[in-house]
Chains A and B, each alone.
Chain A
Amino acid sequence: MKPIVSAILFMAIVCAVPAAAHTPLCACYNNGDDTVTCEGGFSDGSSAAGVQMRVEDASGKMLIKGKMDANSEFNFKKPDGTYRVIFDAGEGHVIEIDGKDILE
């Protein structure tokens, strides 16, 4: 009986993260007022709400940490100097966006 329960539990866990089976997508744009908005999602159309977001400087030092909100968006104040945004939905589902590619 126990293995079945474990299997069901395991299934439940696997099924609870359906988005992980799909390609992660993230795009950021400069709002023109020194703030940046990033939108996330998965290729099947599912939301990225709750996905870890990080903003790092050139040396990899973390400047801002946060999460995709209920609308699958993440807003932050644009750092001075070189930066990059990391969308981290777990192993194999990480996207890095260079700050210089984030335009209005």
Chain B
Amino acid sequence: MKRIIIAATLLSLLLAAPVMAHFQMVYTPQSALAKAGSIDLKLVFTHPFEAGHTMDMGQPEQFFVVHKGKKADLLSTLKPVVWTSLTNSGAAYEASFKLRGMGDNVFCLVPSPYFEKEEDSFIQQITKVVVNTGGFPTDWDAPVGLPAEILPLDKPYALWTGNVFRGVVLSEGKPVPNAKIEVEYLNHAPLMDKNAFAKTAAVEAPQDAFVTMTIKANAAGEFVFGIPRTGWWGFCALGVGPAKAFKGKALSQDAVIWIQARDMK
């Protein structure tokens, strides 16, 4: 009898495990800088709300920045690092970049497809983050031309807590009606020196539906999200890219964007 109870308890624990979403992060501490200078970026494929299981990234296909309409290849600047989550560690990358002058710097990562054993399929999350210097807007609202892309309608670096963030989900430049979008809060501060997540969580989710929130785009592919808390928020439009298979298995080509909100104080 005891064994059955233990088994039942274990099973219920397993079933109760939060539904977490994979999120490709391109992280830097500050998205809106007063002046240009060097910034550090960390590329981590993880579960940001729980600072949970961090997947091993392969050699990225592309990593570049767009500034004033010009694209600069940064692939050769990537250095492999090991990122420590609360439950494991995984292969990740870091980069340093010297920002110049004023304007938007749209960092774009096209990672190599990741094989998810549990689902017997591949995931490729094409990720954007915008870093601005001096408050001068230049590139944030122009599509980069990625196969899967979230085009912001609000500056992703100039948001107060309580603002809304709006975006359009694009597949090869065309809006994706009713796209499914996962939203997750970066709940554990990334420790830049340690290549690890802080152990302390900022918030606690009352229930699983709050860990990875799922929202839908409207018929025009647009979505709106009210930002309830300061910090970084990730948006991931699932399977919107044109590529549907990789190495003979299903591929979900997702579009990710990260935004940063600040408290009014």
A25 and B133 CA atoms in complex are apart in Å by 10
- Identify which of A26, A29, A41, A44 contacts B100 (C-beta below 8 A): A29
**Is there an interface contact between A45 and B137, defined as CB atoms closer than 8 Å?**
yes
Q: How far is the CA of A56 from the CA of B138 in the complex (A)?
A: 29
Assess whether B101 is in contact with A27, with CB atoms less than 8 Å apart. Answer: yes
| A4 smallest CB distance to B (angstroms) | 37
Q: Which B105-163 residues have a C-beta within 8 angstroms of A?
A: 133-138
Decide if A27 touches B134 in the complex (CB within 8 Å): yes
Task: Please tell me if B102 contacts chain A, counting CB pairs below 8 Å.
Answer: yes
Minimum C-beta distance from A23 to chain B (A): 7
Alpha-carbon separation in the docked complex, A42 to B134 (Å)? 10
B139 to A, closest residue via Cβ: A45
* B215 contacts across to A, CB distance below 8 A: none
Assess the A25–B136 pair: CB atoms within 8 A. Answer: yes
Q: Tell me the nearest residue of chain B to A41, going by C-beta.
A: B136
Which interface class (under 10, 10 to 19, 20 to 34, 35 or more) fits B?
A: 10 to 19
Please state if B101 and A43 are interface contacts (CB–CB under 8 Å).
no
Contact partners of B135 in chain A: CB under 8 A: 23, 25, 43
The prevalent SS among residues of B at the interface is loop
Contact B36 A27 (CB under 8 A): yes
Residues in A with CB closer than 8 Å to B71 are none
Q: Mark A28-39 against chain B: 1 for CB-CB distance below 8 A, else 0.
A: 010000000101
Contacts of B100 in A (CB 8 A): 29
B101/A45 in contact, CB under 8 A: no
Flag if B136 contacts A45 (CB, 8 Å): yes
| Chain B contact residues, CB within 8 Å of chain A | 35-36, 100-103, 133-138
A sample of 22 inter-chain contacts (CB < 8 A) reads A25-B134, A25-B135, A25-B136, A26-B102, A27-B36, A27-B101, A27-B102, A27-B136, A29-B36, A29-B100, A29-B101, A39-B101, A39-B102, A39-B103, A39-B136, A41-B103, A42-B136, A43-B137, A44-B137, A45-B136, A45-B137, A45-B138
**18 additional A-B residue pairs with CB within 8 Å, beyond A25-B136, A41-B136:** A25-B134, A26-B102, A27-B35, A27-B36, A27-B101, A27-B102, A27-B133, A27-B136, A29-B100, A37-B101, A39-B101, A39-B102, A39-B103, A39-B136, A41-B103, A41-B138, A42-B136, A43-B136
